[in-house]
Amino acid sequence: MIDKKRVLDEFFALVSIRCSTLDEREMGDLLTARLRDLGAAEIHEDDAGKALGGNCGNIVANFKGTVAGAPTVMLTAHMDCVEPCANIKPSLRDGVIRSDGTTILGADDKAGVVAILETLRQLKEKNIPHGDLQIVFTVAEEGGVNGSRCLDTSLLHADLGYTLDTHGHAGTAAFKAPGKNQLAVTIHGKAAHAGIDPDAGRNAITAAGKVLSAVPQGRIDEETTCNVGKIAGGTATNVVAETCTLHFETRSRDKVKLDALTQRMMDAVNEAVKGTGCTAEIDLKKDYDPYELPADARPIQYLRRAAEKLGFPVVLEEEGGGSDANHFNAYGVPTTVLGVGMTDCHTKEESLLEQDLYDAAELTLAIVQEVAEKR
């Protein structure tokens, strides 16, 4: 039913536009124009960009339905990409879309964006019955899901939602995902000349080493992880390091486990610096809470029915990463994450099967139709 040539052409066009996190202005303007041309009744841009230091806010568009009494469906995708995302040169060969290897591809998340736009076009061009729709294109999803965290929630009124932003063929959906906390641990020591009077110093890097040996790392259990991802400290080899900062994250699909692990981390840090002559300052940032949808949640019911009609197998997964859906669920809109085929995302080896691009659009359209039919 979808226009495959249009979908492919639009995907190539969108990934060719640089869209770094907090620099989504060009993409935001283009999508706003697209939504207006497709007949949006209202288009809002919130102040998330200003709050985060970016140049574009989240875009929320409302489309009036043609079927009374149908639930309002929210379709979401994010505009930004990880680096390097400038001068992406996509190509299609043997049914697989890739970049030229010098950049990412940007299927994360332009595959989701394209599926939503094609759904809207099909509804309009073929006068397909549907209920009210909310379209949300977020900023700053990469690096912390910050755009949806700063979303103006007064704009939301959907009954259920789908975030098009994960791996897997059409029919794959994440019904459960972890929450995440970040900890920036700054060790404060005392500087001294490393050659003349090292005993007068208190080496923050050495204390940081004790911290790294003391804190839990890696996979804690099947749904809980912890990682140190960044370390910086010292000024020169002839100076006893006065400061050192460690950046950790904790994740779990269980909120109790997440909170317990985060506290365990903080306790381990404070215990490890004892006797080093250094002190530890811990800055805790709670990024998002975990979510879990029951098997009979409405987004999953409609997904199953739509996928069955298309002959797509449904695969429900427990994710290891967060997405905008974490925040949408916290805002009271039950939302599942749909697979759009992205593979090896966040790397220069990222790829996308051409068929997955089309299937994601077909399934999104079918879900919207199913909601209207089963109102």
Q: Sign of torsion, CA 94 95 97 98?
A: negative
Rounded Cα–Cα distance for residues 325 and 31 (Å) = 20
The helix (run of H) or strand (run of E) holding residue 5 is helix 4-15
Residues catalogued as catalytic: 80, 141
Rounded Cα–Cα distance for residues 163 and 322 (Å) = 11
The helix (run of H) or strand (run of E) holding residue 324 is helix 324-330
CB-count exposure of residue 96 (10 Å: 0-12, 13-18, 19+)? middle
Q: Nearest Cα to 20, choosing from 83, 77, 70?
A: 83
The helix (run of H) or strand (run of E) holding residue 73 is strand 73-78
341, 172 contact by CB (below 8 A): no
Taking the CB of residue 69, how many other CB atoms lie within 10 A of it? 8
What CA–CA distances, in Å, run from 50 to 29, 233, 329?
Answer: 16, 31, 24
What CA–CA distances, in Å, run from 205 to 151, 182, 240, 317?
Answer: 39, 20, 9, 40
Q: Sign of torsion, CA 320 323 329 331?
A: positive
